[in-house]
Amino acid sequence: MCGIMGYAGSLNSQKIILTGLSRLEYRGYDSAGISYQENGSLQLVKKEGKLVNLENAISKIKIKSRIGIGHTRWATHGKVNDTNAHPHQNEEFSIVHNGIIENANQLREFLQTNGHKFKSETDSEVFLELLSYHYKQNQNIQSSIFKAYNEIEGNSAFVIMQKDSHKLYAIKRSAPIVCGLKQNEKEVFVSSDPYALMGQVDNLYFPEDGVLIVADYLSSKRLIFLEENETPSSRFKLQKKELNEEIISKGNFDHFMHKEIHEQPLLVSSLVEHFKKDYKDIPDDLFKGVRVVHLVSCGTALYAGMVIKNFIEARSDVKVLWDFASEFRYKNHRFSTEEVALFISQSGETADTLACQEICKEHGLKTYSIVNVEGSTLFRNCDYNFLSYAGTEIGVASTKAFTQQVLVGHFLTLLFLRQLDYEKVALDFKKLASAMNKILDEEDKIKQVAQKIYNYKGFIFTGRGIQFPIALEGALKLKEIAYVHAEGYAAGELKHGPIALIDENMVNIAIITPDLYKKTYSNAQEVKARKGKMVVIGDESNKELEELADYFIGLELTEDLKVFEPLVTNLVLQLLSYNIAKLKGTDIDKPRNLAKSVTVE
C-alpha cells in the first residue's frame, strides 16, 4: 500500500526521495508528498493524484536540503486531497505513516482537550500530535516516540523528522520498514520497501517490531537500533545483497506486467537450482506426523494455494483446509498436534496473513511460508520458509509470483511424500518452460481473441477440478486490470444460479482439459445453448472443442505436462486479460484503487 522514503546524507535529499517514491508507485497510491529541512525549519509540499503532480510542484522550488521524508498515500482515513496527503507536520515534527491507528478517535479527543489542533481527517496526524504532546512533557525525542508508539493500537510504521536535526527516526508494528547504508558514504536511507533502495545501498537492515531506528548520517555508526529503555538492540536482520536496478526497467515491453508474464519460462527453468542450493539441508522430520495443513492467504496467493491443495491431496492422505486470511483470523480455532499452517504471500507483509500466522503460533502450530521476499515479516516469523524466487514483481496484478508459488507447492508436495528427485523435477520444469515459451511465441492468436471480445458486458470463467482455481484467478486478473465484471466458477455450479446471467452479451471463458472432460464439455454446451459467447481453452487436437467454440485457443497438452496444466492455462488467461486491458486503455501496471501489498486490514 502506501510507500515511505526517507534520506539523510551529504547529497540533496529531494531527488533521492522522488526517485524512491517513483519506485514505490507500483504499490498503489492516490497522493504524494515530501517534507524537508531548510534553514532550521520544516518545509512541506504535497499533492493529490500522481507523483508527477508533486514533481511539477517541486520543480518550481529551489530545494537545498540534506534530510527529508516522502510518501505515496493510499487513503484509509479521510478523503483523497492535498490536506490529507502525507507527510503531516507541525512546527516541531514531520511524520509519514503506513497502516491504521485503530484508537485514533479516542486519542484525537484527548489531544483536542489538551489544546492540540488538527488540519487533516487522517489517523496519521494523531500520531504527530501525540508525539508532540509527549515531547512537550519531557523534551526527549526518543522517549517521546516510544510513549506515542505504545499508546496507539493497530499495525503501523512511522518515519519521523525533527526540525533542525540531522537524524531520522523510524519504528514499526507489523508493517514493513527497511533501512540501508552505502559503504563509505555519509548517507542513510529508510523505506517501506527494499526495492525503493535499489542501487542506493549495499546493506539492508530489517528491524523487528518495537525497535527504534535512529538514522544519523553524521555519526560514525550512521544506524543505531534501540530498545524501549534506549539500550542497543540486536533485534534486526542484516541482509548483504546487491539489488539489481535492471528490474525497474520495462525493457522492450509496454508494461511491467507484460514483461513479467514473459519472464516466467526462465524463472521456471532456474527454480530447481535454487532448491538444490538453499534446501539441501531440509530436516527429515520437517513434516513428520502432519495430517492436516491449514493453507491461509489472500487473493492470487490463495488461488495458488488451492492448486497446491490439489497437488497434496491427490497424492497423499494429508488433508488441506484453505481459507481467506481475512476470515481465518476471526474464527474459533481448535487445533491438534497433527496440524500445521502454510502461508503464501508475495510480499510477506500482508496484514491479514501476518495476523493469522501469529494466531497459529500462539496455538502452538508449526508455521511455514511460501514467500517471495527474504527478510520480510512473514519470513522472519515462520518456523520454516520456502522462497518463490519470482524476483521483483512491479505490476500490481500478480503473474509470475503465482506461477512460482504453485511450483514451490509442487516441491513441498514431493517433500511431504519423500519423493523428491531433483533430476526428474528439473526435467519436468524444463518441459513446462518449453510449453510456456510456445504460448508466448503465439501470443498474437490470443490477442486476436481479445480484440473480438473486449467490449462484451461481462465474463464468466469456468473450470473443474484443478482448473477451478485457474478460473478464479483468470477472473480476478481481468477484473483487476481491465475494470470489467468477471466471475470465476466451478463449471458444474453454473446451473445453481450463474447461468441466469448468460445471454448473447456474456462471454464464457471455458477451460476444458482432459480432467473431467465430459462433464466440463457438457457445462459449456449449456452456455452455448443460451447464446453465450464461447471462448474455449483446451487441447489443440480436439476438434469437438473447436466446433463448440466461437473462439478456440488450442494448447499442446501432453501427458507429461498433466500436473502442470493449470500453469499452462493460467498463462493463456494472463495474456488474454493483459490484451483486453490494453485494448481498453486502462492503467495496467497500477490499476485504480489497488495496492501491491495490502498492509492494512
The predicted pLDDT at position 119 comes to 95
Inter-axis angle of helices 264-278 and 422-441, to 10 degrees? 170
Residue 473: name the closest of 301, 591, 267 by CA.
301
Last residue of a domain, one of 440, 456, 473: 440
The predicted pLDDT at position 421 comes to 92
Domain that holds residue 159: 3-247
Task: Give the residue with greater pLDDT, 130 vs 40.
Answer: 130
The predicted pLDDT at position 597 comes to 66
597 assigned to some structural domain: no
Distance, in Å, from the CA atom of 447 to the CA atom of 579, rounded to the nearest integer, reads 6
272 assigned to some structural domain: yes
Which residue is it, cell 457445462?
Answer: 523
Clarify whether residues 171 and 238 are in a common domain. Answer: yes
Coil, helix or strand at residue 282: coil
Coil, helix or strand at residue 216: strand
Residues with catalytic function: 2, 596
The predicted pLDDT at position 601 comes to 62
Residue type, 116: H
Clarify whether residues 432 and 307 are in a common domain. Answer: yes
Residue type, 338: E
The predicted pLDDT at position 400 comes to 97
At 245, is the pLDDT very low, low, confident or very high (cuts 50, 70, 90)?
low
The predicted pLDDT at position 123 comes to 95
Clarify whether residues 45 and 167 are in a common domain. Answer: yes
Q: DSSP code of 501?
A: G
Of the candidate ranges 292-296, 345-349, 479-483, 582-586, the one whose mean pLDDT is the lowest: 345-349
Burial class (CB in 10 A: 0-12, 13-18, 19+), 577: buried
Contact 585, 569 (CB under 8 A): no
Q: Residues 287-301: what's their mean pLDDT?
A: 95
The predicted pLDDT at position 194 comes to 86
Clarify whether residues 157 and 273 are in a common domain. Answer: no
Coil, helix or strand at residue 321: strand
Q: Is the dihedral of CA 350, 356, 359, 361 positive or negative?
A: negative
Distance, in Å, from the CA atom of 54 to the CA atom of 73, rounded to the nearest integer, reads 12
Inter-axis angle of helices 468-482 and 299-315, to 10 degrees? 170
Task: Give the residue with greater pLDDT, 575 vs 557.
Answer: 575
168 assigned to some structural domain: yes
593 assigned to some structural domain: no
Distance, in Å, from the CA atom of 119 to the CA atom of 492, rounded to the nearest integer, reads 55
Clarify whether residues 291 and 364 are in a common domain. Answer: yes
Q: Residues 76-85: what's their mean pLDDT?
A: 90
Distance, in Å, from the CA atom of 589 to the CA atom of 570, rounded to the nearest integer, reads 19
Give the domain CATH number at 498: 3.40.50.10490
Residue 196: name the closest of 239, 247, 251 by CA.
247
Which residue is it, cell 531548510?
Answer: 38
Distance, in Å, from the CA atom of 455 to the CA atom of 397, rounded to the nearest integer, reads 21
Residue 357: name the closest of 373, 154, 349 by CA.
349
Distance, in Å, from the CA atom of 324 to the CA atom of 185, rounded to the nearest integer, reads 45
pLDDT tens digit sequence for 492-541: 998 899 888 898 999 999 999 998 899 999 999 999 889 899 999 999 99
Mark residue 527 as left, alpha or beta (left: phi above 0; alpha: psi -120 to 50; beta: remaining).
Answer: alpha
Coil, helix or strand at residue 200: coil
228 assigned to some structural domain: yes
Would you call the peptide bond into 498 cis, given omega within 30 degrees of 0 as the criterion?
Answer: no
Q: How many domains does the chain have?
A: 3
Clarify whether residues 267 and 233 are in a common domain. Answer: no
Clarify whether residues 237 and 140 are in a common domain. Answer: yes
601 assigned to some structural domain: no
At 89, is the pLDDT very low, low, confident or very high (cuts 50, 70, 90)?
very high
Q: Does 285 score more than 90 pLDDT?
A: no
Clarify whether residues 238 and 145 are in a common domain. Answer: yes
Give the domain CATH number at 99: 3.60.20.10
pTM of the predicted structure, to 2 decimals: 0.81
Instruction: Dig out the grid coordinates for 299 from the structure.
Output: 487473493
Instruction: Dig out the grid coordinates for 318 from the structure.
Output: 494429508
Last residue of a domain, one of 213, 247, 281: 247
The Cα-based distances of 490 to 470, 496, 497, 519 in angstroms read: 10, 11, 12, 11
Q: Residues 66-82: what's their mean pLDDT?
A: 91
Q: DSSP code of 443?
A: H
596 assigned to some structural domain: no
Clarify whether residues 454 and 370 are in a common domain. Answer: no
Strands 384-387 and 366-371: parallel
Distance, in Å, from the CA atom of 78 to the CA atom of 512, rounded to the nearest integer, reads 47
At 599, is the pLDDT very low, low, confident or very high (cuts 50, 70, 90)?
low
Residue type, 81: N
Clarify whether residues 427 and 467 are in a common domain. Answer: no
594 assigned to some structural domain: no
Distance, in Å, from the CA atom of 490 to the CA atom of 465, rounded to the nearest integer, reads 8
Last residue of a domain, one of 247, 280, 297: 247
The Cα-based distances of 324 to 307, 346, 362, 597 in angstroms read: 15, 15, 19, 16
Clarify whether residues 529 and 458 are in a common domain. Answer: yes
Alpha helix ranges (H) inside 298-376 = 299-315, 325-328, 351-362
Clarify whether residues 356 and 403 are in a common domain. Answer: yes
Please measure the distance between the N-terminal and C-terminal CA atoms of the chain and give it in whole angstroms: 11
Phi, psi angle pair for 123, to nearest 5°: -75, -25
